[in-house]
A = this chain, B = another copy of it.
Amino acid sequence: MTDKFMQAAIEEARRGLAEGGIPIGSVLVIDGRIVARGHNRRVQNGSAILHAEMDCLENAGRLKASDYQRAVMYSTLSCCDMCSGAALLYKIPKIVIGENQTFQGPEDYMRSRGVKLEIQENAECIELMRAFIAAQPALWDEDIGED
């Protein structure tokens, strides 16, 4: 069963897809409560930096260091170098990842920096990305800096 926070991240991913965007979603949870939601906005905003996790962190606004340090970041997809780096900057201690089958970020490096990763291999997350990558391979390559 999908936990309620990952379910909220998947809802964000589906919202992005409905907007014509890349279906990746994220939520930030502090003390058991969702404080911000976000989804990839490359297409919608013409953005090079608004991956789902970045959009979520931006939507959370300026939090205190102590808030980030007890947060859990949820993402439907394994976090890329940029989004992983954002989590490191703010010392977010735990990231829950929907799946890492269609893309895998620097997971070993994150663990070496002390970040706890929980990888759920959620079938709905995998299917969302598989279908998207098959439909829009060039857009997907752009999003992860590939040719």
Q: Counting chain B CB atoms within 10 Å of each CB, which of A42, A68, A147 scores highest?
A: A147
- B85, A141: Cβ atoms closer than 8 Å: no
Q: Is A91 at the interface (CB under 8 A from chain B)?
A: yes
Is B62 a contact of A42 with CB atoms below 8 Å?
yes
Return A123 CB to nearest CB of chain B, in Å: 27
The contact of A65 among B47, B49, B109, B146, by CB within 8 Å, is B146
A86: interface (CB < 8 Å): yes
Is the beta-carbon distance between A145 and B65 smaller than 8 angstroms? yes
Contact of A85 with B81 in the complex, beta carbons under 8 Å = yes
Interface-lining segment among A12-20, A52-60, A125-133: A52-60
Q: Are B62 and A144 in contact (CB under 8 A)?
A: no
